[in-house]
Structure 1
């Protein structure tokens, strides 16, 4: 469709191209894809730049990106929403009720709601890759080293169950009641989801959401399903995996977990994310199918904390206007999430708009330019202004 189909003037979106080209020229990322939908119609969908700075492979709108923490809102949170709707999971029940191994740990008494709000008091993250020692990994797979972390990197059997998981379970609870964003919260939710549903999270989301929604590329472990050249590479990891990451998750903890984790590991295209967020904007319905009740979507995506801006799992507009988060003109209804690899996904019910930006700003190494140049919020505000013009 053309922007005019949704009442938006194409010329008002031209500035998006300039901002992206500036970002690529200043090495914020080698390539970017931006998609905008208004009233359920795609009004902007373009790819810029290349997979890498060698300028060999052009970015396409169908390219698959490492979505990093957008996994939290696109895999783990909908799984939680579904189990809450089915009354198999209760937000005000304690973690130990669902996780036997947590019963003798500091997190036993924490309730699920606190975990979803990042108020459980967990430390933000544990740099598990710093604990990997000689003998823990191998360059070849075998019965002793079955878990693929990246190309030519396999971690020993039981590394997650015997080392990572106990370390998380026994971490001290330090800031309970305050908002401290933590990856550990989503490892915990993954374990709960997998216990209740009796299947691994990657299969659960595939069967319950991605396949029925027509999200054709979304999912974990994309190298098992797609050719390498469709997947945009992330970091050329010189320290831990000593290889270019192509279709293996950038997040070190998720990688050591075998690529399927509650906080990271999901890959997908801009179109996949647009479908999922359109379903949320539609209050749980898409293509004639109901995935959630409007009440469930409303509850998880609206502000649910009295100490932070957050919803349940979802990040939101920040009422502290000096933060201009996620962007200066974002409405108070805006919900979504960002991802460390250079991802932004936001839905604004007041404008009936979905905005997706996918980049690989961590290639070849982590660049802070995307944030410094405010690329993500500036594009969002071009869209906001273009849509607001139509209201006048």
Structure 2
């Protein structure tokens, strides 16, 4: 298969899984250059994944004419600036969540991508995995009738117990709202359509956190953002959905699944933070739950599947499955939730998006046997 050249900006913790997949799983991508503000981090990833070129700066990487797609994996505060530079350099651009720190910058990036005639996609790309794709098929085929409600939650004790450098996750542009909620907002809107309005309450439980992971064990983190939130999303379709996220809950009996309620049944789907999991279904009037297998490919941690889809779109001369409008809508919802929590009022959502095509059952993007499980 013809390959699309990829350059990666940002070689931190999350880059390892991206590079593992882009270099070893997806047959249509090849990473030819990496860079990081810490040159040693870039050199480490280059050696680990046999990447031929280590650049000293993002500007050097963006100047490489052979690169078709730039993947931005820096900290959130740098996303908008680097994406703008990449688009101006004539590169299709994929960026980790969030697209930007605010909708003004996000809108500017979407408009720039359109002017440059380049694709722009924002994580999370987990919606392209087997779990959400199987759920989409079931909902689209009417298994639960007309959806009218959904409940989602993920409650954890915080990333300082496992992340090697978690401080940024408590700073502006992160916290559970911008680090965790994007998965659930994207998952819910991908399945149930755009959001019309939101309400949210949030609070900061601790002013300071202590890192208990290595190598920064014992280091104190000043908390800048709320760490406990509950939000209500009212969809354009009339569906009412809730999100409930925290970095403060050390013990809970709730799992990370999402329940979707329809006029003819209930669907329990895996967390949108992952690519697969268990699906449970109960038809109206039937006392028994049924287990539904995830039938689409890419069931393990396939971060980078959005990049692979973008590469496939280039080769097939089509639009990407995760549109710029979809990523911007997610950002719009997150910012509105933030404003609602601060002001105590419902916030309208000005943006919307058109639904894109679903994944193929077997897109043939790589060694499928390695992705079963």
TM-score, normalised on structure 2? 0.25
Name the structure where strand makes up a greater proportion of residues: 2
